[in-house]
Homo-oligomer: A and B are copies of this chain.
């Protein structure tokens, strides 16, 4: 189910700069029982991404209203349901080659997808991860934002088809650990939570931000820094996260077994409670 600029359509202009150059941004949003989760945070990140790319941010109220309308369609008759809402914003059509047009009319595309089947058991049982050969390039002008230039992730994810491996860990060209192909990565060592600094590469995920905020609030020290493979492989606990999968403990990296530990379980609890509270607050503010 696709909506382009408010209309039901399954196609986009060939001239759209999203297609021509990957000139745009996206958000992938979990939908529970017909309601988009952490929509406010997704829209704020999208707005920040638009600023970084000098794309005039579409009206947030319009986006929120369309996101909510579309999300409701995933829920039939009040039955419990899950879905994924993807929102793409491009610089629209026009301009001369790479040069953007003087008057930018962004394109907004919503699509609603079934919730991926794999999600639930990995929460509990943990996943197997591998290291990808494809490296992340370094570029401060694009780092952190969820832009549409995703060939590195595509090449990395194409490296394996073994269903026993659920995520690939990506290094930057200097060999530092940045993130998973579709997730951010954390590790715990001596009761400190570590994650990669994303000022040169990577996507600053919504779930990553929530985890860092909640951990700090709970008194767990969080360090955002260079992450070496050596540090990761000697960690006490490791997990990956994103807005759709939540938190997946990593139980194995290549051939190394990693224990699923108490800190990861605490963080899963904090996130679950925060999500429930967030939903109640939103229901209250809407009601």
Contacts and interface: CB of A to CB of B under 8 A. Distances in A.
Contacts of A135: 139-141
A155 B53 contact: yes
13 contacts: A10-B14, A23-B150, A23-B151, A53-B155, A54-B155, A99-B161, A100-B157, A102-B161, A134-B141, A135-B139, A137-B137, A141-B152, A142-B152
Given A10-B13, A97-B182, A139-B173, 8 more contacts: A12-B12, A21-B153, A53-B154, A97-B157, A98-B156, A136-B139, A137-B137, A149-B150
Interface of A: 2, 4, 9-23, 53-54, 88, 91, 96-100, 102, 109, 111, 116, 134-142, 147-158, 161, 173, 181-182, 201
Contacts of A153: 21, 98
Contacts of A15: 10, 111
B98 A157 contact: yes
Contacts of A53: 151, 154-155
A19 B109 CA distance: 11
A178 to B, nearest CB: 13
A112 to B, nearest CB: 12
- The interface centre, meaning the residue of A10, A18, A54, A141 with most chain B CB atoms within 10 A of its CB, is A141
B19 A100 contact: no
A91 B155 CA distance: 12
A17 to B, nearest CB: 7
Contacts of A9: 14
A174 to B, nearest CB: 9
A245 B80 CA distance: 59
A137 B134 contact: no
Nearest to A158: B100
